[in-house]
């Protein structure tokens, strides 16, 4: 009798494990779908992660509640009658009931976890996960996302209020005073027809190894700092700039005044 009780307990645990496996597969699919959505909407991946964890919890609880002996019987009709009878007589101890328990234990050996596991469903879920993973990778690699202006009612308002516009262009940029911070002065876009030639003289940075000699021994006195190794303030970046660069800078400043 205790053998049969242990058998029922093991069977129930086995079915729970399989339920958890399916719930985990479902939550991975949910996570991949959510990740696709967050990638498209340019949102953080944490939203998808949290949502899928909540989904996993809910799915596990739902499957645990649904898991009953009927599910095992449905998957193994050849042992349905004996399972039900054993469940109803689990406390019995007469000759025939003991014989039934022995027969049940023998028959349960032929029932493996594989017969309860929906292998086809699990395989399909894995295929879906692979497809969704590929989708996420492609979206991320190509930086494909839904522009925020899709969710901006102003975009649609502008479209409706400008009857000349033939299409709704989510990528049109308008230069106005409020856009100065983002795009800079509008006139900066018009550089003019002048051609600026910039030559960077690399001679400033040339090093001559011909004049390298052995360092002289010097005596250092406390409080003084030898001039050879003293840090010398270099010329400011402005003093070192070539003449042509100075012209370009002055030109740009002038443009700004305009």
Partner 1 sequence: MPAVHLQQVQQIKTMFANLKKEIGKVIVGQDEVIDQIIVAIMCDANALLESYPGLGKTLMVKTLSQIMDLKFARIQSTPDLMPSDITGTYILEDKRGEKQFKFQQGPLFANIILADEINRATPKTQSALLEAMQEKQVTVGNNTFKLDLPFFVLATQNPIDQEGTYPLPEAQTDRFLLKILVEYPKDKEEVEIIDRYTTGAKDPGVKKLMAKDSLLNLQKYCRQVPISDDLKKKVVTLVNKTRSNKDLIEYGASPRASLGIVMAAKAHALLNGRTYVAMEDIKKMAYPVLRHRIILSFKAEREGRTADDAISTLLEKL
HSE, side-chain direction, 13 A CA sphere, residue 251: 16
Task: Kindly state the tokens that stand for 104.
Answer: 């049940």
Kindly tell me which of 37 and 82 has the beta carbon lying closer to partner 1: 82
In angstroms, give the least distance from the CB of 81 to partner 1.
Answer: 4
In angstroms, give the least distance from the CB of 64 to partner 1.
Answer: 24
Kindly tell me which of 110 and 201 has the beta carbon lying closer to partner 1: 110
Answer yes or no whether residue 247 interacts with partner 1 by CB under 8 A: no
Residue whose token pair is 């909540």:
54
Residues with Cβ < 8 Å from 72, sequence gap 6 or more?
Answer: 11, 15, 83, 111, 116
Cβ–Cβ < 8 Å for 19, 64: yes
Taking 3-state DSSP, the helix, strand and coil percentages for the chain, each rounded to the nearest 5, stand at 65, 0, 35
Binding mask 45-84 for partner 1 (x = CB under 8 A): ------------------------------------xx-x
The CA distance from 208 to 130, in Å, is: 61
Question: Under rule CB under 8 A, which residues in 203-242 are in contact with partner 1?
Answer: none
Binding mask 87-116 for partner 1 (x = CB under 8 A): xxx--x-xxxxxxx-xx-xx----------
Residue among 231, 238, 242, 232 nearest 205 (CA): 242
In angstroms, give the least distance from the CB of 45 to partner 1.
Answer: 50
| Site of interaction with partner 1 (CB under 8 A) | 3, 81-82, 84-89, 92, 94-100, 102-103, 105-106
């Amino acid at each position: 009798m205790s053998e049969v009780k242990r058998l029922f307990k093991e069977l129930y645990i086995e079915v729970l494990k399989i339920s958890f496996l399916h719930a985990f597969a479902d939550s991975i699919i949910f996570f991949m779908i959510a990740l696709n959505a967050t990638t498209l909407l340019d949102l953080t991946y944490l939203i998808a992660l949290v949502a899928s964890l909540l989904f996993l919890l809910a799915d596990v609880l739902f499957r645990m509640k649904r898991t009953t002996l009927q599910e095992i019987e449905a998957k193994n009709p050849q042992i349905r009658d004996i399972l039900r009878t054993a469940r109803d007589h689990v406390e019995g101890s007469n000759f025939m009931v003991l014989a039934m328990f022995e027969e049940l234990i023998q028959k349960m050996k032929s029932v493996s976890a594989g017969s309860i596991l929906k292998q086809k469903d699990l395989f399909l879920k894995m295929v879906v996960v692979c497809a969704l993973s590929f989708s996420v990778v492609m979206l991320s690699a190509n930086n494909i996302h839904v522009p925020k202006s899709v969710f901006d009612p102003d975009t649609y308002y502008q479209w409706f209020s400008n009857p000349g516009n033939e299409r709704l262009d989510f990528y049109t940029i308008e230069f106005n005073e409020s856009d100065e911070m983002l795009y800079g002065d509008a006139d900066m876009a018009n550089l003019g027809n002048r051609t600026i030639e910039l030559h960077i003289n690399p001679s400033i940075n040339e090093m001559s190894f011909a004049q390298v000699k052995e360092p002289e021994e010097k005596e250092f006195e406390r409080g003084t700092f030898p001039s050879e190794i003293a840090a010398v303030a270099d010329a400011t970046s402005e003093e070192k700039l070539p003449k042509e660069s100075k012209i370009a800078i002055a030109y740009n400043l002038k443009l700004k005044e305009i």
